[in-house]
Chains A and B, each alone.
Chain A
């Protein structure tokens, strides 16, 4: 089955850019997603990218997809303390296109 991997932790200074990376194994993945989870809350969909795209930008968020290397990244520009959360990468694959999630990256924004 599909496997999605992320590094567990990332710390950045307020105002810097954050880059969260993700790799996946299923080359037939159609959509790839980034979710954000704040403490005590469920997962909130931040953005998604279709597999025929290389890049998608949405305000402070930029998603880059390298389909050849099966690598996805999320860049957050001008990172703020409110961006501190766990960020999950997810891939939709298989005939049912169900989501497979990574373990999540805990982003800590330092003042």
Chain B
């Protein structure tokens, strides 16, 4: 395990379902991130949380709703998704928002929307 744990590893959901992705880190980091990784596209930064406050939302559709109840946990709530939302969703954490020592990534949740 990398220190950042994501669950579930795989998720198949219908377009009318509601589901949540979970991320947990035990590294003592205080910044957490959601990234979307689609085939043949660069990693897309979705949300940034620093000290449990959302500091960035990169024009992500409202069908994605993040939640950061404490510095160790990050959720991504999903509802009425579209097939094009199928992707690998990666969570990462870092010490402070600056990336001076890099981000630590989880293994990702492979999401398929049918």
Residues of A within 8 A of B (CB): 4, 30-31, 33, 35, 40-45, 48, 88, 90, 92, 96-99, 101-104
B104 within 8 A of A: yes
Q: How many residues on B have C-beta within 8 angstroms of the other chain's C-beta atoms?
A: 26
Once A102-B42, A103-B40, A103-B42 are accepted as A-B contacts, the answer to whether A45 and B104 lie under 8 Å apart by CB is yes
Residues of B within 8 A of A (CB): 2, 4, 6, 40-43, 45, 48, 55-56, 90, 92, 97-108, 110
> Which residue on chain A has the smallest CB distance to residue B2?
A42
In the bound complex, do residue A42 and residue B105 qualify as a contact, i.e. CB atoms below 8 Å apart? yes
List of B residues within 8 angstroms of A35 by Cβ = 102, 105
Q: How far, in Å, is B5 (CB) from chain A's closest CB?
A: 10
List of B residues within 8 angstroms of A33 by Cβ = 99, 102
